Amino acid sequence: MLVTEGSRLVIGEAVIERSNGKLVLSDRYSKSTYLVGKDAEVKLVPAPPFNVPQRVSDYLMMVFKTPLVVTDKMTLWVEGPYEIAVVVEGSIVKYLSPIKVKHALYGDVVDGLVCRYFETPILNEPFGKTTVASSKIILEGEVTKEVNKLVIPIKDLRFFESNGRFYYEVIEAELNEESIDIELTREPPIPNAIPIRKVVHPKTILERTKFSMRW
Q: Convert the pLDDT of each residue in 74-87 to its tens digit.
A: 999 999 999 999 99
Query: How big is the CA angle at 160 (ends 156 and 162), to the nearest 5 degrees?
Result: 170
CB 104 within 8 A of CB 113: no
pTM for this prediction = 0.88
State the Cα–Cα distance between residues 16 and 61, nearest whole angstrom: 28
Q: What integer is the mean pLDDT of 12-39? A: 96
Average pLDDT over residues 6-32: 97
Residues 6+ apart with CB under 8 A from 136: 75, 76, 77, 126, 167, 168, 170, 171, 189, 190
156: alpha, beta or left, given left = phi > 0 and alpha = psi -120 to 50?
Answer: alpha
pLDDT tens per residue, range 98-147: 999 999 999 988 889 999 999 999 998 888 788 999 999 999 988 888 99
Torsion of CA 201, 203, 206, 207, to 10 degrees: -150
Q: Is 1 helix (H, G, I), strand (E, B) or coil?
A: coil
Condensed to tens digits (0 to 9), the pLDDT of residues 35-85 reads 999 899 999 999 999 999 999 999 999 999 999 999 889 999 999 999 999
- Please report which confidence band the pLDDT of residue 208 belongs to, taking 50, 70 and 90 as the band edges: low
What pLDDT does residue 165 have? 93
CA–CA distance, 93 with 180 (Å, rounded to integer):
37
Nearest to 58 by CA among 47, 67, 69, 42: 47
Strands 122-123, 159-162: parallel, antiparallel or unpaired by DSSP?
Answer: unpaired
Predicted pLDDT of residue 199: 66
pLDDT at 18 over 80: yes
